[in-house]
Amino acid sequence: MEQAGAGLEKIVMGSLRRVPQGEAPALAWPLVCGSVVADRTRVLEFADGVLRVEVSDAGWKREMQGLAPRYVAQLNRYSGQKVERIEFVIRQV
């Protein structure tokens, strides 16, 4: 079963590395953060090494900032494009 997971991971990584420059981190976001977080956040843009992600409120922003280093490491691993940091932005109502 582990080999299947590793094989799938290689396929995903290969696919993400073939998308146009700047798109891979946004496409990798749901894979990195998981479906629960992905459903409650929205990638706004990726530019100059910064992935901007919209969150619903200050509580989510604090929670996500604590997880950001882990997310950055995984984004860099999957996307092959250098993500320096994630900026969490509270949704404007």
Domains of the chain and any CATH numbers: 2-90 (3.30.300.180)
pLDDT, tens digit (0-9, with 9 covering 90-100), for 36-85: 999 999 999 999 999 999 999 999 999 999 999 999 999 998 888 899 99
Strand partners, 43: 53
Using an 8 Å Cβ cutoff, are 79 and 46 in contact? no
Put the strands of the sheet holding 85-90 in their side by side order.
42-47, 50-55, 85-90
pLDDT, greater one: 37 or 20: 37
Q: Find all residues with CB under 8 Å of 65, minimum gap 6, and list them.
A: 88
- Report how far residue 77's alpha carbon sits from residue 14's, in angstroms, rounded to the nearest whole number: 11
For residue 26, pLDDT beyond 60? yes
For residue 8, pLDDT beyond 70? no
